[in-house]
Amino acid sequence: MNIHAFAPASRPGLETAHFLRDSDLSDHELRSLLEVAYQIKIEPESCRDSLKHRAIVLMFEKPSLRTRMTFELAAAQLGALAVFQDHRDGRIGEREPARDIARNLDRWFDAIVARTYSHRTLEQLAQWSSVPVINALSESYHPCQALADFLTIRERFGSFEDLRIAYVGDGNNVAHSLMYCAAQLGVSISVCGPPGFGPREADLAVATAVAEAHGSTVDVVADIREAVRDAAAVYTDVWTSMGWEDETQQRRIAFDAYQINDAVMTLAREDAIFMHCLPALRGQEVSDAVIESDRSVVFDQAENRLHAHKALLMMMVNGA
């Protein structure tokens, strides 16, 4: 792996009270957080016990492997206690209102990490919580994933200058977060998929405006060859996100021509990387050969969740 050291980073806190979407961070905060995450990765002892005597609650309505494990491990390695609660018997707000849940949790915990079906649930928790609420995935955004992704890109290429990402797949929460982060960092992005499955118009408009201010572009195209050609990173995700399982067959048909395989990857830059947020359905959105190739950085992305989550918790809970 070609890892380039980040510039030395101070560890300022974040001005935002909550992290519900990528745009909650300013350009400077996003870059600072990524730099802190990298410093933590190369010097893990530098942050040990930085959240000693703190407590984090994880409330997940959806299944999770990487997000749950890395937040729990991040808390433990920072010296904090992590308490996990799932909602197999009901979603947040069903048994009691989200505003009541928030005002219980903020008496006990120093941060609330929530994975929800509805982004509105996160907004309700944040409205009533006096401690930071962190979006661990909603149907609208996956901002913690994007932090790990751009840390991975920065490691591989050394900077964000003159880069373009091709995202091929459903215009879902991951696509929205990638658009916002790319725009803030001056990275161009092409979002590619069949008509009717693109990103939300409101998010596309905002991300496009931000990109223009940073000298980059956000494009939506239907031709996979156009999207991938000369891209530095080719990213895909499952065609059917959690909560949309009733559309599985319809989506398999619609996305049939959008698989990332060896032929598609030959269109990208010679040094291009393949990215996926995982879990992957091998043989559908990506071939087994690509995900197991030397170009694949999917497990680097997974590892970098840990370092990104550490940085995020430190900067939101401690202002460290």
Tell me if 22-141+304-318 shares its fold with 145-301.
Answer: yes
The residue-averaged pLDDT of 288-306 equals 98
Mind giving me the DSSP string for 302-315?
A: HHHHHHHHHHHHII
Instruction: Give residue-wise pLDDT tens across range 161-197.
Output: 999 999 999 999 999 999 999 999 999 999 999 999 9
Question: What is the pLDDT of the chain when averaged over all its residues?
Answer: 94
Please confirm, yes or no, whether 277 is among the known catalytic residues. Answer: yes
* pLDDT attached to residue 319: 63
Mean pLDDT in residue range 142-149? 98
Query: What is the pLDDT confidence band of residue 6, given thresholds at 50, 70 and 90?
Result: very low
Q: What are phi and psi of 228, to 5 degrees?
A: -85, -25
Percent helix, strand, coil in the chain, to 5, is: 45, 15, 40
Residue 2 has pLDDT above 50, yes or no: no
Q: How much is the pLDDT for 4? A: 36
Contact between 113 and 58 under an 8 Å Cβ cutoff? The reply is yes
Q: Residue 8: pLDDT above 60?
A: no
Is 305 one of the annotated active-site residues of the chain?
Answer: yes
CATH fit for domain 145-301, picks 3.30.70.520, 3.40.50.1370, 3.30.420.40, 3.20.20.80: 3.40.50.1370
For the residues 40-63, what does the mean pLDDT come to?
95
Q: What is the pLDDT of residue 320?
A: 43
Q: What is the pLDDT of residue 13?
A: 72
Q: What is the pLDDT of residue 11?
A: 44
Q: Which of 251, 277, 301, 307 does the annotation list as catalytic?
A: 277
pLDDT of the residue at 79: 97
Residue type for position 231: A
Contact indicator for 35, 107 with CB cutoff of 8 Å: no
Res 83 pLDDT > 90: yes
Whether the per-residue pLDDT at 88 is higher than 90: the answer is no
For the question of whether the overall pTM of this predicted structure is more than 0.85, the answer is yes
Nearest to 119 by CA among 95, 137, 145: 137
pLDDT on residue 266: 98
pLDDT at 37 over 60: yes
Given pLDDT bands bounded at 50, 70 and 90, which one contains residue 308? Answer: very high
Is pLDDT above 80 for 292? yes
Please give the average per-residue pLDDT across 111-137, as a whole number: 97
Catalytic residue among 142, 164, 251, 276: 142
Helix 201-213 to helix 173-185 angle (10° resolution) is 20
**pLDDT at 283 exceeding the cut of 60:** yes
pLDDT score of 142 more than 70: yes
> Which of these CATH numbers, 3.40.50.620, 3.30.2130.30, 1.20.1260.10, 3.40.50.1370, describes 22-141+304-318?
3.40.50.1370
Report pLDDT for 1: 35
Q: Which of 24, 149, 237, 300 is catalytic?
A: 237
Q: Is 237 a catalytic residue?
A: yes
* Percent with pLDDT over 70 in the chain: 96
pLDDT digits (tens, 9 = 90+) for 216-261: 999 999 999 999 999 999 999 999 988 788 889 999 999 999 999 9
Q: Given the residues 11, 68, 87, 305, select the one marked as catalytic.
A: 305
- Mean pLDDT within 53-75: 97
Q: Which residues pair with 83 in a beta bridge?
A: 57
Catalytic residue among 39, 77, 124, 145: 145
Catalytic residue, candidates 31, 54, 87, 115: 115
* Radius of gyration of the chain from its Cα atoms, rounded to whole angstroms: 19
Give the Cα separation of 140 and 21 in Å (integer): 8
Q: What is the tens place of the pLDDT at every residue in 260-276?
A: 999 999 999 999 999 99
Point out which residues pair with 95 in neighbouring strands.
none
Reply yes or no on whether 115 is catalytic: yes
pLDDT at 155: 96
Q: Where are the domains of the chain?
A: 22-141+304-318, 145-301
End-to-end CA distance of the chain: 29
Q: For the residues 98-106, what does the mean pLDDT come to?
A: 97
